[in-house]
Amino acid sequence: MASVYTHIQVVAIDQASQLPEDRPGNVDWRRHDVNLGLEQYHGQYDVVHVRCIGAGITSYRGLLEEASKCLKPGGLAIFIEGDFDLFDEGQQKILEPAGETNPDGCYLQKWMQGLFHL
Ligand SMILES: C[S@@+](CC[C@H](N)C(=O)[O-])C[C@H]1O[C@@H](n2cnc3c(N)ncnc32)[C@H](O)[C@@H]1O
């Protein structure tokens, strides 16, 4: 967004210390774990864009609420995450995760659900 809309100011938040090589000049990069809240950003932004960080989020519902609070009145929040459910070969049925009561279930599905706190 920052590259395309050069007249806007963007604040980019990530907990990682490594910055991308291609860094537009209109981006203010900040290192922060969003699980700790976003109170310092509340009420300041026209657009909030959250993409593909689900694996690092302890409560996605909490993130939805916190990120939405960062908007000014009438602002737009965009959340983008993948669908990580695994389906059977016919792509009709979501595979059951393996577990103590379901040893024949799918261990990869179990791992995916644990990863995304489902
Ligand atoms: C798959 S990458 C996506 C990067 C970028 N959002 C994108 O869409 O291109 C996941 C990123 O989420 C960041 N992340 C995961 N959990 C986070 C958290 N709790 N707070 C801040 N950043 C987090 C990781 O450091 C990583 O850079």
Instruction: Say whether pLDDT at 118 is over 60.
Output: no
For range 21-28, the mean pLDDT: 93
pLDDT of residue 115: 76
pLDDT of residue 48: 98
**Is the separation of the CB atoms in 27 and 2 below 8 Å?**
yes
Nearest CA to ligand 1 atom 15: 56
Residue 20 has what DSSP assignment? P
Interval 63-107: pLDDT, tens: 999 999 999 999 999 999 887 789 999 999 999 999 999 999 999
Q: Is 35 exposed, middle or buried (0-12, 13-18, 19+ CB in 10 A)?
A: middle
Of the residues 13, 15, 32, 64, which should be mutated to test ligand 1's pocket, given the most ligand atoms within 8 Å of the CB?
15
pLDDT of residue 109: 92
Residue 57 has what DSSP assignment? -
pLDDT of residue 99: 93
Residue 14 host element (H or E):
strand 10-14
Tell whether the torsion through CA atoms of 52, 57, 60 and 63 is positive or negative: negative
Task: Locate the domains of the chain by residue range.
Answer: 10-80, 85-118
